[in-house]
Chain A
Amino acid sequence: ELKVEQNPLFLSMQEGKNYTIYCNYSTTSDRLYWYRQDPGKSLESLFVLLSNGAVKQEGRLMASLDTKARLSTLHITAAVHDLSATYFCAVDMIVGANNLFFGTGTRLTVIP
């Protein structure tokens, strides 16, 4: 059965600091998505990574994908309070329904 594991599950960091969230998955897939979820809200698409070595950046967030290691990272640079949210990675099953398998999420709190 496919497993998608994120770590850390909880992350508390000070404004201005850098940190990385890791997403490991157990199947061969070259399609990986990152979503953001604010409390009580739905999921907002952040990044779509479609090949080995893919790197995408938006503002203070940068995502990368290593399909050989089955690992994706979400790097936060100089964190600000507005980045506080839960971040999910999700793997595309490619076949069948193409449904997404989500990790358990990383709850990020940025402290002023």
Chain B
Amino acid sequence: DTGVSQNPRHKITKRGQNVTFRCDPISEHNRLYWYRQTLGQGPEFLTYFQNEAQLEKSRLLSDRFSAERPKGSFSTLEIQRTEQGDSAMYLCASSPRDRPTYNEQFFGPGTRLTVL
């Protein structure tokens, strides 16, 4: 399967704990996005990487959140000192470099975070 993969698929944690999610984009896709989706809502943009560079961050990405893409391939999203409001589905998407005029994004299965 050459689609976007994410791990873990589910994560249950206690408030105050740190969690880290991983995303493996489609091979050779240079653009990588993180979104957050809460129940009954559409995905909301969190942050964007082009290769290894983090080029944009949403105001939703508080200082407890950090994302990396160290070698321009997989990416990690870490949430420190989790709060119950962080409970959501975290989606990763990637898009290829060879489509400069539009940006169809391919989504992974998501990581569902529950903070108790």
Q: Enumerate chain A interface residues (CB-CB to B < 8 A).
A: 4, 31, 33, 35, 41-45, 48, 50, 88, 90, 92, 96-105
**Total of A-B residue pairs, C-beta within 8 Å:** 59
User: Which residue of B is nearest A47, CB measured?
Assistant: B104
Q: Is the interface of B mostly helix, strand, loop or mixed?
A: loop
- Tell me, in angstroms, the Cα distance from A33 to B95 when the chains sit together: 13
Q: Enumerate chain B interface residues (CB-CB to A < 8 A).
A: 31, 33, 40-45, 48, 55-56, 58, 91, 95, 101-110
- Tell me, in angstroms, the Cα distance from A97 to B114 when the chains sit together: 28
Q: Which residues of A are found within 8 Å of B48, using beta-carbon distances?
A: 97-99
Q: Report 5 cross-chain contacts, Cβ distance below 8 Å, ordered by A residue.
A: A35-B107, A88-B43, A99-B58, A102-B44, A105-B41
Q: Which residues of B are found within 8 Å of A100, using beta-carbon distances?
A: 43, 45, 103, 105
Q: Chain B's nearest CB lies how many Å from the CB of A44?
A: 8
- Tell me, in angstroms, the Cα distance from A105 to B103 when the chains sit together: 20
Given the contacts A31-B102, A98-B31, A99-B33, A88 and B42 also touching, CB distance less than 8 Å: yes
Instruction: Say yes or no: A42 contacts B31, CB within 8 Å.
Output: no
- Tell me, in angstroms, the Cα distance from A45 to B91 when the chains sit together: 14
